[in-house]
Amino acid sequence: MAKGSKKQPSPTPGYVLSEVLELRRLIDLHNHHYHTLDDPKIPDADFDSLLRRLELLETEWGLSVSDSPSLDVGGSVSEKFSAIAHSLPMLSLDKIFDFNDLYSFEDGVKNRLGTDYSSVYSCEPKIDGIAISLLYQGGELVRAATRGNGVIGEDVTHNIRTISNIPKKLKSFNKSALLEVRGEIYLGKSDFALLNARNLANFEKTFVNPRNTAAGAIRQLDSDLTKELPLQFFCYGIGQTKNIRFPHSLTDVFAQLREYGFPINERQRICTGSEQIIKYCEKLQQDRESLDYEIDGVVLKLDDLSLQNRLGVRARSPRWAVAYKFPAEEKTTIVLGVDFQIGRTGAITPVARLQPIFVGGATISNTTLHNMAEIARLGLCVGDKVLVRRAGDVIPKIVSVIEPAGPESRKEIRMPSTCPACGAGLELSGEILYRCSAGSACTAQLKESIRHFSSRNALNIDGLGDKLISQLVDAELIKEAADLFGLDYFELIKLERMGEKSARKILLAIDKSRDVTLSRFLFALGIREVGETTAASLANYFQNLDELLSASSRSLEEIEDVGPIVASNIVSFFSDHGNLQMIEKLKQHGVRLTHSSIPSARENPSFLNKIFVVTGTLSSMKREELKGKVLGLGAKVSGSISKSTDYLVAGDGAGSKLAKAESLGIKVLNELEFIELITPSNSGEN
């Protein structure tokens, strides 16, 4: 957009953009903790809640982007294991939470299939376990892989071979055939209870829940440790096959797999139409507690395989299957206390410490209270007996006070007068939000700001996790983000559990991050309400940090995605002497801002506000890199095809999006054509 031109008002409120960016950050963080660090921080249902909220906002406000975690199937693949490419992606399932959603799902299937629709579904319990792919050649188990990110998994064959009910050699199997079987690894409830009882007797740490225990066991490097746990397996389907013939219905496929020796869930049933499905779901929910494995819902799949093939798949889920999640579970417990947590921007959030309860398949020991207004609404005090609700569609929350504590033990909850982390004074921001006034002088804010600075979509410093950041700050080795680039090897190895190899790896990752695009750099700075999209718009418009540093609020408001409040935050940030000193310190430590060779929107306005969608697997670049190139043109990235889409970039395995783009007459580009389109000699519309 040329300077001086009138900017069209954005239809999306700033608070919606802020929530979407925060949801993406949280989902990426929890994916990393669960899939890469084997250290999940929240229960599975809580993660579902975050994901569902993100999907809702992206759909309602048209904020879908190609690299949104709402389109991810799993997490990143750990470097501890060899990577395995799935010949057919291991997709996730869309989730429904009530029977009205079930009717809508069935109507959607019927509308797509028309007169050929057969409402026969294979129904089975949704095991709360770990998805696995088993590959057999000539009847021999040759490889086992985790789902990973859905496209690439981890080779865990050594651990899977320790599971007794997974056949290592198939019965009556064609020696020239290849078969991939997919299923769920789980730890039975009775075995989990015995495991924890044994650990308690030996004064060892107990496990939180069966699923996390199974996940950790599968991703052990030492298979002897995995062997100590009585893990089990249920088969739920097949992947690639060769020189083998299967029946035309999923139920008959299960029967054939059972003959080969695979365990099939005994609760698998055929249901015709919504009413039978509802009865099945209600019956299974009634029997849930009597089962010796954790379930959190029902998986529904069209039984006819030919109809499955006709419906096809989306980016992360099939159209022919859905997971019905059971309604919220509620339990009562006691509020033991309230802690106040400090975020990156200084916002203070009350968090209730609860007497631990096992509800909805997970142990809950704390939950957010959001703000003091929520505490007042509940009439909550420390010591009260409360009702806690947990399910896939809500974050665990205190619903109500069931029984107030007696006067002698009931304690009023008050916002502290000073920051609990650093002792600085608090400021009221708006009507209900309190912030610590110390800024980066507050150790809690400093740790959060460094975590943000080093995160994947900022400087992407691999291996710099929360624990290490806390160690560095507590040891006063870093007092601001710029100090990361001055870390000394000999100081690092003095830290607890920091070996020579780990220290070298961290320093190498930090050094690798010195070259960073202006867009990522601006996002990393953590300017209030400047997310990835706004950072990209700023970088595209100014192309130079010095030019941005001297920009006025008025000139900033001419930029797409920048309103008066965001403009004021940017000017305020770059007017702060401490922030300017840190930027200068980063430059002195060799941080270099790189610029793309792609023409900017000011140099070539042809792409301004054009909408790109990407589908399939790219070979020459990552999706994140392609997104950066698109944003650098002044264009936008969307996650879905519509009449307003201008270009579809189609990689290998492009499916439904490609078909829809062709039907709408949208320009389709392969990777080479995309690169040719955006190069200076060819840029412009075709």
- Contact status, residue 530 vs residue 570, Cβ threshold 8 Å: yes
The three-point CA angle 227-230-232 to 5° equals 110
Query: What are 638's strand-pairing partners?
Result: 613
SS3 of 30, please?
helix
Give CB contacts under 8 A, 24+ apart, made by 494-497. 495/468, 495/471, 496/471
Instruction: At 476, list the tokens.
Output: 């006063």
Q: What are phi and psi of 258, to 5 degrees?
A: -65, -35
The three-point CA angle 55-58-64 to 5° equals 105
Question: What's the CA gap between 324 and 284, in Å, rounded?
Answer: 12
Question: What's the CA gap between 114 and 120, in Å, rounded?
Answer: 15
Instruction: At 191, list the tokens.
Output: 């075995």
Angle between helices 564-575 and 577-588 (to 10 degrees): 70
Instruction: At 544, list the tokens.
Output: 């130079």
- Contact status, residue 613 vs residue 314, Cβ threshold 8 Å: no
Question: What's the CA gap between 39 and 543, in Å, rounded?
Answer: 40
Active site residue 126: yes
H/E element holding 153?
strand 152-154
Question: What's the CA gap between 351 and 355, in Å, rounded?
Answer: 13
Question: What's the CA gap between 510 and 323, in Å, rounded?
Answer: 42
Dihedral angle at the C-alpha atoms of 635, 636, 637, 642, nearest 10 degrees? -110
Listing DSSP states for 295-339 in one string gives EEEEEEEESBHHHHHHH-B-SSSBSSEEEEEPPPEEEEEEEEEEE
Question: What's the CA gap between 468 and 454, in Å, rounded?
Answer: 12
Residues in the chain, overall count: 686
Q: For residue 517, which of 494, 540, 551, 495 has the smallest C-alpha distance?
A: 540
Q: What are phi and psi of 233, to 5 degrees?
A: -140, 140
Q: What are phi and psi of 21, to 5 degrees?
A: -65, -40
Q: For residue 165, which of 289, 269, 266, 301 has the smallest C-alpha distance?
A: 266
- Contact status, residue 40 vs residue 2, Cβ threshold 8 Å: no
498-523 residues labelled b (16+ CB within 10 A) or e (exposed): eeeeebeebbebbeebeebbbbbbbb
Question: What's the CA gap between 60 and 63, in Å, rounded?
Answer: 8
Measured CA to CA in angstroms, residue 286 lies from 280, 283, 289, 304, 672 at distances of 10, 5, 8, 28, 56
Q: Of these residues, 126, 301, 627, 657, which one is catalytic?
A: 126
- Contact status, residue 541 vs residue 602, Cβ threshold 8 Å: yes
Which residues are annotated as catalytic?
Answer: 126
